[in-house]
Amino acid sequence: MADHDIALMAHLLRRAGFGASRDEVEARVAQGYANVVEELLDVGEGPGIDEDLMYRAYPSYFDKAAIETGQTEWVYRMINNRHQLQEKMSLFWHTIFCSGDNKVDNARTTVIQIDKFREQGMGNFQDLIMMLSQDPAMLYYLDNIESHKTAVNENYGRELLELFSMGVGKDGEINYTEDDVKACARAFTGWNLAPTIPVFPYGRTPFEFRFDPADHDFEDKTFLGETGPWNGEDIVEIICKQPATARFIARKMYDFFVADEPPVPSWRQSHPRDPEAIKTLEKAYFDSRYDITSMLRALFTSDFFKSESVRYAKVKSPAEVVIGTLRMVGQHTSPEPGLFFVAMEPKYMGMDLLNPPTVEGWHTGAEWINSGTLIDRINFAAGLLGDTDLPGVKSIIGRLMDQSDAIRPEDFVDGCLDLTGPLTIAEETRKELVAHVQSGGELRHGSESERQDFSQRTGEMLQFIATTSEFQFG
Amino acid sequence: MVSTNKDPVLAVFSLSGGNDFLNTVIPYTDPLYRDYRPSLAIAEDQVIPLNDKLAFHPAMAALMKYWDEGKLAIILGVGYPNPSLSHFRSMDIWATCEPDELGLTGWLGSVIQEIDPKAENVLTGVNFGRGLPRSMAKDGVPVASVGDLSSYGLLTDIEETGQRDQALDLFGRMYSPVLGRGVVSDYIRRTGLEAMAGADILGTAPSKYSSTVEYGNSAIGGYLKDMVQVHNAGFGTRVLFTTAPYNIFDTHANQAVGHSNLLMDVATNIDNFMSDLREQKISDNVTLFFYSEFGRRAMDNGSGTDHGTGGVAFALGEHVKGGIYGEYPSLELGKLEDGGNLQHNVDFRSAYSTILERWMGMDAKSIVGGSYDQLDFL
């Protein structure tokens, strides 16, 4: 198989999902890039994992009392959902439509929201925003339950425009005024929750949406230049028509799937790194009448995505570090002990799933890295890649042995880099790794003890690769 | 500013979850205390009197010696206006001194930056636990986060020492600056070297430490012991922070046993901490401040207590002027907030200001966001 096909497929699987073992990458290359993209986009019905198996092993997931249960189950799904893009999209929307357990404090309600992102995240954007505007966790988080006909609370109305659809501005212009925020907030008055059952002594029951017409402002409002007795669904319809909305989704998708971009608050002044790419995505948005799958198809089949210039152009998020490494080595691919501890790791690396620090979400890109998180990221990946009992690592060892009876140090290092990536590292770093292998003597694998030595040295080399600064990118 | 021969060191310990003030420092002669707490009131013959009105929960016995020495300050009714009863929100407020807006800069992050503006010593501030606590978070301020000092470091999975030394040596060479790889790569390399330098240095702490003090098995004991080891090793660490395991003080149920065990764990290990510092002869320049993000409801709920407001904070150290500071919130029904919560009378930023100005020798106003009356415990 051509090297570039493998590199391209590995890139697709890392971005449109959470990565894969080398064995899977090669199988997918045989399947063909365009076919793999279509398979990723075609999610059909059903959960994508064997739920019966999961619930049998982890019965507490069936009804999530604690947020940690929700986090652990989601990590299991991220590792194992065969519709990897569907799962990646639920994470994508979670990083944009942020509500957090630190305020909602109701794991069942929060996880229901993520389940909806999974089910609807690749459908129509207008339907998605309508779902969000009725999502109990979000309404509670952004105080829409405190928004009344006679005393409007602008929190949801504002964040809907600023952070969930249009953004503050584009191309030097602002997208909406304070009057638009007020009109938007008025339109969502009465979008509230059914009375909640007391936590003591009944436990945390999921919140439910309930529209209260008595509390809704039915008067005329002027929103983005259009006047009428707008209710929430009318606002959503107007928002979805705006070029600013297309731009917002396009830039978010580019940042999440293609290459790290500056954060949203600076989008009025900062230009996209690839304006043509953004235009392509915006066109797909309008041509398909707001269909997310169509935008994703345009993205993954584009030259700007396939280009070598955007390979390894994103700092891996903690979720990608953890789940990507687990999928590469083949751990927790079915229920086994230890999932909880692994599921808590993204939190220590700065990404507390289901609990973003604010409604603006996480600071991404280089900001994932600081002296504390870097040690965690390195130790986690090195710990797994150095474990020569894991299936993914064994497979790498086997492939290297198959290459030759006495593999040269340069080929050994290049082989390890290829099989964990394909990863390109600085020449100086590569030389250091080669020198290290040379100092360990010849790499033979004839006798049993030679094979053990070879395995151990491979595990060690994979650990070194996991510590490189290049390995922090995905 | 209190004088010590060496630079003042601040240790901060957050009792995460909302420590029950009423059952920690008990108004044992107030009949309302027993009225409100039919299930949880501590019997009068079991409490440890501090004076004729207030007493310690019996599980706090290990701290009595410091009270008798006059080195333990108890700050009553500490909180802030418009209190939040949400753990996260309240912890954030204590961490960032921002009660209304969302703050992302921790007060201790500002302290570390004040001490070491160019971040020349990556170990100026150390967290004992995992992740980066909001209290210490500030852009550009490196903080080492040590879960367990004995196993902290890079590539700790590589067990064989010779092999690990080789790996770390290689790491150092791999991370040396390489031009032209881009801003983010450069940043990662710099961060990697910083992290490795910090880990290298921290790794030497256990070998410099020898003590007769036994800390037991709890997480709190482990963190406090690690704090002593780091202080003992003389790395120039000036801010040490730790938290009790996440939310462990949130005693909504089974409080009689649960809270008693927690207080025992805390008191015993703080006693170990101070005794150890004294044994190593390094206690003179350390002040320990421990607090919780809020207190709990005056009335019990049958088995435990729910979130409340005004709580208790403590300062302990050789230069602390022991005693009672602030006033015990009134238990009268008319004086409770929302029918059950103790009113605070000391703003937590007063306690911080006292520590910053009188112990750390720095300007408090810019760090806590305003001028607050100082207390006299330092």
Residue A261: per-residue pLDDT: 82
Pick the more confident residue, A116 or B160. A116
Report chain B residues whose CB lies below 8 A from the CB of A68. none
Once rounded to an integer, what is the mean pLDDT over residues A56-70? Answer: 93
**What are the phi and psi torsion angles at A218 (to 5°)?**
-90, 0
Residue B83: per-residue pLDDT: 87
Tokens 């289901």, residue? A354
Q: B87, exposed or middle or buried, with CB in 10 Å at 0-12, 13-18, 19+?
A: buried
Give the rounded distance of the alpha carbon of A78 from its chain centre: 9
Closest CA to A3 of A23, A28, A29: A29
Residue A464: which of B170, B187, B301 has the nearest Cβ? B170
Work out the percent of chain B whose per-residue pLDDT is above 70: 96
Amino acid at A420: T
Residue B151: per-residue pLDDT: 80
Angle at B142 between CA A377 and CA B209, to 5 degrees: 90
Reported as a single tens digit per residue, the pLDDT across B299-330 is: 988 888 888 898 999 999 999 999 999 999 99
Contact B29, B12 (CB under 8 A): no
Once rounded to an integer, what is the mean pLDDT over residues A93-114? Answer: 94
**β-sheet bridge partners, residue B337:** B341
Counting Cα atoms < 13 Å in the Cβ hemisphere of B94 gives 31
**Per-residue confidence band for A3, with pLDDT thresholds at 50, 70 and 90:** low
Reported as a single tens digit per residue, the pLDDT across B239-263 is: 999 999 878 898 888 899 999 999 9
State the distance between the two ends of chain A, measured CA to CA, in whole angstroms: 22
Residue A463: which of B130, B158, B306 has the nearest Cβ? B158
Q: A204, exposed or middle or buried, with CB in 10 Å at 0-12, 13-18, 19+?
A: middle
Residue B369: per-residue pLDDT: 94
User: Is a pLDDT exceeding 60 seen at residue B206?
Assistant: yes
Domain residue ranges of chain B, discontinuous segments joined by +: 9-152+215-368, 153-202
C-beta atoms of B178 and A426 within 8 A: yes
Reported as a single tens digit per residue, the pLDDT across A448-471 is: 999 999 999 999 999 999 999 999
Once rounded to an integer, what is the mean pLDDT over residues B37-60? Answer: 95
User: Is a pLDDT exceeding 90 seen at residue A443?
Assistant: yes
Residue B181: per-residue pLDDT: 64
Round to whole Å and give the CA distance between B334 and B99. 25
The model's pTM: 0.84
Reported as a single tens digit per residue, the pLDDT across A120-129 is: 999 999 999 9
How far A102 CA sits from the closest chain B CA (Å)? 5
Q: A47, exposed or middle or buried, with CB in 10 Å at 0-12, 13-18, 19+?
A: middle
Give the rounded distance of the alpha carbon of B343 from its chain centre: 23
Once rounded to an integer, what is the mean pLDDT over residues A319-323? Answer: 98
Reported as a single tens digit per residue, the pLDDT across B62-90 is: 999 999 999 999 999 999 998 887 777 78
- Residues 149 through 168 of chain B touching chain A, CB cutoff 8 Å: 153-158, 163, 166-167
Q: Please, what is the average pLDDT of chain B?
A: 90
Q: Which residues of B337-375 are buried (b: 16+ CB within 10 A; e: fewer)?
A: beebbbebbbbbbbbbbbbbbbbbebebeebbeeebebb
Pick the more confident residue, A204 or A218. A218
How far B72 CA sits from the closest chain A CA (Å)? 33
Please tell me the class of the B9-152+215-368 domain.
Answer: alpha beta
User: Is a pLDDT exceeding 60 seen at residue B180?
Assistant: no
Q: Please, what is the average pLDDT of chain A?
A: 93
Once rounded to an integer, what is the mean pLDDT over residues B359-376? Answer: 96
User: Is a pLDDT exceeding 70 seen at residue B2?
Assistant: no
Pick the more confident residue, B291 or A1. B291
Helices (H), ranges, chain B: 21-24, 31-36, 64-69, 87-96, 107-115, 161-174, 183-202, 219-233, 255-279, 348-354, 365-368
Reported as a single tens digit per residue, the pLDDT across B142-171 is: 888 888 888 888 777 776 667 777 778 888
Reported as a single tens digit per residue, the pLDDT across A370-413 is: 877 888 899 999 999 999 999 999 999 999 999 999 999 999 99
Least confident window among A228-242, A365-379, B40-54, B360-374: A365-379
Residue A264: per-residue pLDDT: 64
Once rounded to an integer, what is the mean pLDDT over residues B282-289? Answer: 97
Tokens of B142: 């490196």
Round to whole Å and give the CA distance between B258 and B304. 9
Query: Highest-confidence range of B170-179, B228-237, B304-313, by mean pLDDT?
Result: B228-237
Round to whole Å and give the CA distance between A151 and A398. 68
Beta-carbon count within 10 A of B333 CB: 11
- Residues 243 through 272 of chain B touching chain A, CB cutoff 8 Å: 252
Round to whole Å and give the CA distance between B135 and B239. 11
Residue B194: which of A357, A371, A383 has the nearest Cβ? A371
Tokens 């630190």, residue? A102
Round to whole Å and give the CA distance between B55 and B314. 14
**3-class state of residue B241 by DSSP:** strand
Residue A1: per-residue pLDDT: 47
- Helices A67-80, A107-120: crossing angle, 10 deg rounding: 20
Residue A269: per-residue pLDDT: 63
Please name the residues in contact with B88: beta carbons below 8 A apart, sequence gap of 6 or more.
A100, A102, A103
Least confident window among A131-145, A264-278, B1-15: A264-278
Residue B198: per-residue pLDDT: 86
**Per-residue confidence band for B186, with pLDDT thresholds at 50, 70 and 90:** confident
Closest CA to B183 of A395, A473, A47: A473
State the DSSP code for A48: S
Tokens of A39: 């398979």
Residue A45: per-residue pLDDT: 86
Once rounded to an integer, what is the mean pLDDT over residues A192-196? Answer: 94
- Residues 277 through 316 of chain B touching chain A, CB cutoff 8 Å: 301, 306
Residue B139: per-residue pLDDT: 82
Angle at A300 between CA A297 and CA A306, to 5 degrees: 155
User: Is a pLDDT exceeding 90 seen at residue A270?
Assistant: no
Sequential DSSP letters for B154-218:
TTTT--SHHHHHHHHHHHHHHTS--TTS-HHHHHHHHHHHHHHHHHHHHTTTGGG---S----SS
Helices (H), ranges, A3-106: 3-15, 22-31, 33-41, 51-57, 67-80, 84-96, 101-104
Domain residue ranges of chain A, discontinuous segments joined by +: 1-34, 35-310, 391-472
Once rounded to an integer, what is the mean pLDDT over residues A163-173? Answer: 90
Once rounded to an integer, what is the mean pLDDT over residues B348-372? Answer: 96
Closest CA to B86 of A159, A140, A195: A140
User: Is a pLDDT exceeding 90 seen at residue B133?
Assistant: no
Residue count of chain A, please give it. 474
**Per-residue confidence band for A268, with pLDDT thresholds at 50, 70 and 90:** low
Angle at B177 between CA B172 and CA B179, to 5 degrees: 150
Residue A266: per-residue pLDDT: 63
C-beta atoms of A428 and B189 within 8 A: no
How far B350 CA sits from the closest chain A CA (Å)? 27
Pick the more confident residue, A73 or B160. A73
Reported as a single tens digit per residue, the pLDDT across B320-359 is: 999 999 999 999 998 998 878 999 999 999 999 999 999 9
